[in-house]
Structure formats: structure tokens, C-alpha cells
Amino acid sequence: MHEVHTAKNILKMAKAEADLRGLSSIRSIRVRIGAWTGIDIDHLRHDFQTVAPTISLHVEPVEPSARCEDCGADFEPKPGSLNCDKCGSRKVTLNQEKDIELVGVE
């Protein structure tokens, strides 16, 4: 699957941010992407270069985190298993991560 749509979204967010800060041109963009969003980051980098060849894109993958309602532990859930790392409880809340978060525009 292509990531052109995601690339354009990132570009749109970055342009809005650049306008807000009065930047006349964008040289680099830094984003965080949730590791569970299914976005293929290597492919995204490639497609981004097609959409905006003059801008360098830096991507930080973000691992999801979860909190146990029983013992209060914060832990990193593994795909397919949401049991608490510490006590094994299944009463676990997954912290909602944003799909894509803009962290920097230069």
C-alpha cells in the first residue's frame, strides 16, 4: 500500500504550522508516528520524497503504552496481548496514541 496520502497529510500539517510561525519555506519536518497505526515508515519516507523532494522527513516511531487498573503499572503492551506485565490482570487501559504528531518544522 502506498503512503502518499499520509505524506500529503504530513505536508499539510507542516504547512499550517509554518504559516502560523511565518516560515517562508520548509526544509525539514519531524513527526512521531504510532507504531500500531500500520503506517509503513520506510515506504512513507520514500513517498514523501516524491511528494516533497526538497524537504527532509524525520520519523520517530512511538511505541504504545498501557496502564493496569489493578496494580497501576505502566507498561508496553505486546501486539495481541494486553495482560499486565506485573500482575497479569486483564483490566488494562491502552493509552490513546495519536496516529501522527507533528513535533518540528524548520
Q: Which is nearer to Zn ion, 61 or 72 (CB)?
A: 72
Q: SS3 of 61, please? A: strand
Cβ(3)–Cβ(43) under 8 Å? Answer: yes
Contact positions toward Zn ion, by CB under 5 A?
2, 47, 68, 70-71, 73, 84, 86-87, 89
- CB of residue 55 vs Zn ion: minimum separation in angstroms? 17
Residue 9 or 89: the one with the smaller Cβ distance to Zn ion is 89
Q: How far is the CB of 92 from Zn ion (least distance, A)?
A: 8
DSSP annotation of 71 reads T
Q: Give me the least distance between CB of 21 and Zn ion, in Å please.
A: 30
Specify the residue, 84 or 105, whose C-beta has the smaller distance to Zn ion. 84
Distance CA 94, CA 103 (A): 22
Distance CA 44, CA 40 (A): 6
